Chain A
Amino acid sequence: MEPMKLVKMANEIAAFFSADPDRAAALEGVAQHLKRFWDPRMRTELLVWVDQHGGAGLVPLALDAVRARRTDLTPR
C-alpha cells in the first residue's frame, strides 16, 4: 500500500479528532480509530513509515498518536 495514501488517511482521521480541545483525548481518538479499523498490514506500514522516514507528511496529532500508542498499534 502506498505510504502516502496511509499518511493521507491518517491525517484525515486526525483532522476529525483535532476538533477536541483536549489533546490527550484527541490523540487517543486517533490511535483507537487506527487500531479498531485498520488491517494489521496497514498499521505495520504506517509504523515502518514513522520509523524509517520520521512519519514525513503526517500532521503532528497523527504522528504523536502513532508514537504514543505504538505498542497498541503493533500487530501481535
Chain B
Amino acid sequence: MRCADEHDLGTPARTDGKPVTVEVDGVPVTVPEGTSVMRAAAEAGVSIPKLCATDALEAFGSCRLCLVEVEGRRGYPASCTTLVAPGMKVRTQSKKLAELRRGVMELYISDHPLDCLTCPANGHCELQDMAGAVGLREVRYGTTGADHLEQAQDASNPYFTFDPTKCIVCSRCVRACDEVQGTFALTIEGRGFGSAVSAGGTPFMDSECVSCGACVQACPTSTLMEKSLIEHGQPDHSVVTTCAYCGVGCSFRAEMQGAEVVRMVPNADGGANHGHSCVKGRFAWGYATHPDRITKPMIRRSIDDPWREVTWDEAVDHAASEFKRIQAAHGRGAVGGITSSRCTNEEVYLVQKLVRAAFGNNNVDTCARVCHSPTGYGLKQTLGESAGTQDFDSVEDADVVMLIGANPTDAHPVFASQMKQRLREGAQLIVVDPRVIDLVRTPHVEAAVHVALRPGTNVAVANALAHVIVTEGLAKEDFVRARCEAPAYAQWKAFITDPKNSPETLADAIGVPAERLRDAARLYAGARNAAIYYGLGVTEHSQGSTMVIAIANLAMVTGNLGRRGVGVNPLRGQNNVQGSCDMGSFPHELPGYRHVSDPAVRALFESAWDVKLHAEPGLRIPNMFDAALDGSFRGLYVQGEDIAQSDPDTEHVEAALRAMECIVVQDLFMNETARFAHVFLPGSSFLEKDGTFTNAERRISRVRKVMPPRAGLSEWEATAALSEALGYPMRYAHPSEIMDEIARLTPTFHGVSYAKLDRLGSLQWPCNDAAPEGTPTMHVDEFVRGKGKFLLTEYVPTEERATARFPLLLTTGRILSQYNVGAQTRRTENSRWHEEDLLELHPHDAEQRGIRDGDRVSVTSRAGETVLGARLAERMQPGVVYTTFHHPMSGANVVTTENSDWATNCPEYKVTAVQVALASSPAAWQARFAEFRDQQASLLPGATPAPAPAAPAAPPAPARTGAR
C-alpha cells in the first residue's frame, strides 16, 4: 500500500508528445499525447474507480472497474488502457457504468474475507474504497461456493507478509517486480479461478525476491503488507526525509504514530528514486532504536579503564582540555578530525570548521579518502569539478552504458533498477569487471560485452579502448576541437596511438582477448549517447586517479559530455559522501573544493569565521595513522566513521589508534574504533535530525527529524559545544542557519536554502544565480575549468602481484542486504540474508586446494591473515577471490595492504595478493579481536566484568637429546 498522503493518478505520466484536449464529464483538460483517459480524468479532478491501475506501473486493463463511455464509440472501454484523442468526450458515470462496476465488485467481494474491522488495511484499503465508491450493497453469490479463504499465509520474509486470502489477483505486485524493480521474481500461476500470485513456487524468503518492497507498495489490499504496519496500525502522519544508506539518496515518507515510525514508504516525488526503494532504506531502519544504541556521553582515562557515564558538559570539557593539552605539548598539528559521510552537510561542515578554526590546522579528512577521493582528483584535473556530470534520469537517454568496477544491483539498487529499465528498452551494456556481476546476465538484460579483466589492469583497458577509438577514426574531433585544450589533446593523441596502448599489446596483461576490447571500444564510441558509470572498482587501486582521468579522456574524445544520456557518473557510495566532500572535509580544500593555499578563498573564510586559517594542507587519514605511530599526531575527533573496521591494514590502524592519547568518537554504537576511544559522544540517527544530504548526482535533499534525539543533543549541537569548549564558539539556532552560512561562502551552494528545498523538494548543485533551480547536467556549454584537459595515463602495473607465495588476487565489495561496515544493517533483520562474510572462489581454485563449499579457509597476505567460510562461485574467474567486509570479525582488512592510489592515498582494496588454504581454527587476529571485543564490552557501564584471561599454556618441555 502506498502512502495515504499521495494521490495516485492511475497511469504513468507522459512528458513528451503534443498537447491533446479532451472533455471529461464536461470538464476540458489538456494532457500530452499518449496519456490515458484515466489520468486525464484524474488531472481534471475526476476520480474513476480502479483496482489494477496505479501510476507507478503501465496500464494493464484487467480489473474492468475503470470502464467509461466515450462519445461516438461503442461499448465501455477501460479508461486505463484507452489513450486520449483530440476532441474526445468522456463520461465517467452513468446507470450502465454503475451497474457494471457493482457487478465487478460483487465478484471480488464474493471471494474476499469480510473482516474489514480487524484487517490491517482497515482505513487505507483500495478494495474497501472501491466497494464504497461503487455503492456495493449486496453480494448475491453467497458463501458456500469455492473460494480462497483458507489459504496459508507466507510470513517467511522478516519484513512483510503475504496473505493470499486477501489477494484480488490484480497483478500489481507482479508488474511492480517486473517494471519497477526488474527482478521478475513474481508471477501469476494458474488460470481463471486458479490464478494466484507466486514467488516462483517457494516462500518469499527462499525466492529471488530482493525485498525491495515494490510489491508491498503496489498492493491495493493487505495481501502484501509490512509486519510493522500490521503490528502498529495505521499511521497518523508522515514526514518526508532522505535515506541514510547509499549514495542514491532515496526520498522516503516516514509514516508515524506520534514519534514512532510505523513504516518507511518511498516518496513518489523523490527526485532520485521516483517512488522506489531497496531492502535497506525501506525496511532496515530499526537500528535507530536498537538496544545497542549508546545515549549517554562517556569518558575514560585509558582504553583499559571502564567507561564512566557523564554529562554532556563534562564530556565536552574533558575532550577539549585533552586536545588543548596535546596541542600545547606537541604542536598545533598534533590533533585532527574525521568527518562522517553518514552525517548531514551541516554537521560535517561544523566538524571541518572546528578543525580549521578551533584546532587551527587542516588535519580533516573523510571516508571519501578510502572510496572516491580519486574521483575528486581526476575529474577536477580534467573537467574542473569534483563530481559526476549527470543526474540519474540521464540514463533514460543512454544508448550504451559502460559499467566499470561497479555492481549497482547490490550497491545502488534503486538506480540499478532504473538502469535495467533502460537496458530492457534496448540500450546496450558493456561491463568491465573481473566478476560476472548480476548485470552481465539478469532477466531480460544481457551485457553485449563483458571485459572480465584481471584486477589491477583498469588503466590498460581504458588505454586500449582509447587507442581503438582514435586509430579507427571514431573520435569526435569536432567536439574535441571546440571544447578541449588543443595542445593537451595533441600530446595525448600521440601517446594513446602508440602501439604499446593497443589491445593486442595489452591483452595478455588484461587477460581478455584483444577483439573483445575492440568490440567494447567500437560499441561505446559508435553510440549516439554513451554513458560511463563507475564505482570503487575504479578508484580503489594504485592507479585509481589515473583511471578516473582515463575515463574522462574517453568521454571527451567521444563527445559524450554536456547533455543527457552521456557523461561520467561516479556511483558514490554513502548517503552523504558527496556532501562531505562538498563541505571541505579534505585536508587540502575548503568547502567548494578550493585549495587552502588560495589567499582569496582563505580571506573569505577568515572574514566569515573571524579566525586566521592555516595555508598548508593537512594530514589525510592514512597519514594520520603514520603520524600517530611516529608520535606527531596524538588526538583525533572521529564523527561517525569506523576506521578500525573500514580502513586497510587493520593491525597498522589499531597500532596507530593505541598510540594516540585522546580519541573522541561521536557515533550511535560502540563500534570497533570506539573501543580505542577515550571519549564517547552519542550521535543521532537520520530519524533524529534536521539537515541535508547530497547524493551521487549532486542532489541536495532534506533530512527531517521525526523523533527527538535520543542522546538529548543533536549532533551539530555536540560539535558546537566541543568547539565552544575549545575556545571557538559556534552560535546557530537551527541547521538551516548553518546551510545559510554554507550558501554564503560556497558558490556552488549559493542559491540553496531550506525554504527553496521545501518548495522544490531537492536541488542539484551548482545552484546559483545562473541556475537558481539547480543543475542536472553539467558542462553543457563549456567545462567548469573552461576547456577540458586530456592528461596522459601511462599504465603502471600495481606492485601488488600474484606470486608463488601469494598466487591469488583478492578483491573486495559489498552486497545488497548489508551496508559497509554493517553497523546499521547488522542490527536489523537484514542479517538473515548475510550472517557472515564469505570468501568466494572459483571451483578450479578450490579444487586445487582441496576446498569444498562451506569449508573454513585461511586468507593470507603479506599484511596478515584471517579465516572465513568458503563459497564456490562460477562468477569468479580462476585466480581471483572475493569477499565483503560487513562483519568486524571477518577481518577482511587485516589482509588488505598499505598500497594506495598515487594521488590521493585511496587504498588499493581491490588488489591484494593472497593464498587460501583450509583452516582448522580462527586466525590469531580473530582470537585477539574476540578477546579485545569482550574485554571492551566488559568496560561498558552496567556490564559484567570479563573473566580474567586464561594463563598462557606452559611451554613444552625441551626434547631429550639423549646426550648427558
Contacts and interface: CB of A to CB of B under 8 A. Distances in A.
A15 B333 contact: no
A51 interface: no
Interface string A24-56: 000000000100111111100000000000000
Given A36-B588, A37-B588, A39-B618, A13 B903 contact: yes
Given A36-B597, A39-B623, A15 B587 contact: no
A18 B616 contact: no
A24 to B, nearest CB: 14
Interface stretch (B73-81, B127-135, B256-264, B624-632): B624-632
B542 interface: yes
Nearest to B492: A19
B824 interface: no
A41 B794 contact: no
A12 B902 contact: yes
Contact of B595 (A2, A36, A75): A36
Interface in A1-28: 1-2, 5, 9, 12-13, 15-16, 18-21
Q: Which of A1, A19, A39 has the most CB of B within 10 A?
A: A39
| B contact patch SS | loop
Interface in B882-910: 898, 902-905
A20 B630 contact: no
A42 B903 CA distance: 15
Given A33-B903, A39-B587, A1 B630 contact: yes
Interface in B626-640: 626-627, 630, 632
Contact of B794 (A1, A16, A37): A16
A41 B333 contact: yes
Nearest to A1: B626
Contacts of B626: 1-2, 5
B116 interface: no
Contacts of B619: 39
A1 B903 contact: no
B616 A39 contact: yes
Contacts of A13: 902-903
B792 A1 contact: no
A1 B623 contact: yes
Contacts of B616: 39-40, 75
A11 B626 CA distance: 18
B589 to A, nearest CB: 10
Contacts, number: 59
Nearest to B331: A41
Nearest to B336: A39
Contact of A39 (B333, B630, B794, B796): B333
Contacts of A36: 588, 595, 597, 617
Q: Which of B363, B627, B904 has the most CB of A within 10 A?
A: B627
A13 B546 CA distance: 11
A42 B623 CA distance: 9
Interface string B578-617: 0000000001100000010100000000000000000011
B929 interface: no
A16 to B, nearest CB: 6
A35 to B, nearest CB: 8
B794 A38 contact: no
Contacts of A75: 616
B630 A9 contact: no
A42 B542 CA distance: 20
A51 B927 CA distance: 45
B794 A15 contact: yes
Given A1-B623, A13-B902, A16-B902, A37 B617 contact: yes
A49 B623 CA distance: 17
| A contact patch SS | helix
B617 A9 contact: no
B594 to A, nearest CB: 12
A11 to B, nearest CB: 9
Contact of A1 (B545, B595, B627, B904): B627
A39 B792 contact: no
B903 A37 contact: yes
Contacts of B632: 41
Interface string B472-513: 000000000000000000010001000000000000000000
B123 to A, nearest CB: 59
B958 to A, nearest CB: 38
B623 A16 contact: no
B597 A18 contact: no
B793 interface: yes
Nearest to A21: B491
Q: Which of B363, B587, B623, B796 has the most CB of A within 10 A?
A: B623
Interface string B936-950: 000000000000000
Contacts of B630: 1-2
Contacts of B545: 16
Contact of B792 (A2, A20, A41, A42): A20
A5 B625 CA distance: 12
Given A39-B587, A41-B627, A19 B793 contact: yes
A31 to B, nearest CB: 14
B540 to A, nearest CB: 15
Q: Which of B333, B588, B619, B902 has the most CB of A within 10 A?
A: B902
A21 B794 CA distance: 12
Given A1-B623, A2-B626, A39 B903 contact: no
B623 A19 contact: no
Contact of A16 (B495, B597, B903, B905): B903
Contacts of B796: 12, 15-16
Nearest to B904: A37
Nearest to A10: B902
Contacts of B793: 19
Contacts of B905: 9
B507 to A, nearest CB: 21
Interface string B511-549: 000000000000000000000000000000010011000
B457 to A, nearest CB: 16
A75 B903 CA distance: 20
Given A37-B903, A42-B623, A19 B495 contact: yes
Nearest to A25: B491
A12 to B, nearest CB: 4
A16 B595 contact: no
A2 B384 CA distance: 34
Contact of B902 (A15, A39, A42): A15
A16 B546 contact: yes
Contacts of A2: 626, 630
A16 B626 CA distance: 24
A45 B864 CA distance: 28
Nearest to B898: A5
Q: Which of A9, A36, A37 has the most CB of B within 10 A?
A: A37
Interface in B814-853: none
B523 to A, nearest CB: 27
Contacts of B903: 13, 16, 33, 37
25 contacts: A1-B626, A1-B627, A1-B630, A2-B630, A5-B626, A9-B902, A9-B905, A12-B902, A16-B794, A19-B495, A20-B792, A21-B491, A33-B903, A36-B595, A37-B588, A37-B617, A37-B903, A38-B617, A39-B618, A39-B623, A39-B627, A40-B333, A40-B616, A41-B627, A75-B616
Interface of B: 333, 363, 491, 495, 542, 545-546, 587-588, 595, 597, 616-620, 623, 626-627, 630, 632, 792-794, 796, 898, 902-905
**What 4 A-B pairs are tightest by C-beta distance, nearest first?**
A12-B902, A19-B794, A19-B792, A1-B626
Given A16-B794, A16-B903, A36-B595, 13 more contacts: A5-B898, A9-B902, A12-B542, A12-B796, A13-B902, A16-B546, A19-B495, A20-B491, A37-B903, A39-B616, A39-B619, A41-B333, A41-B627
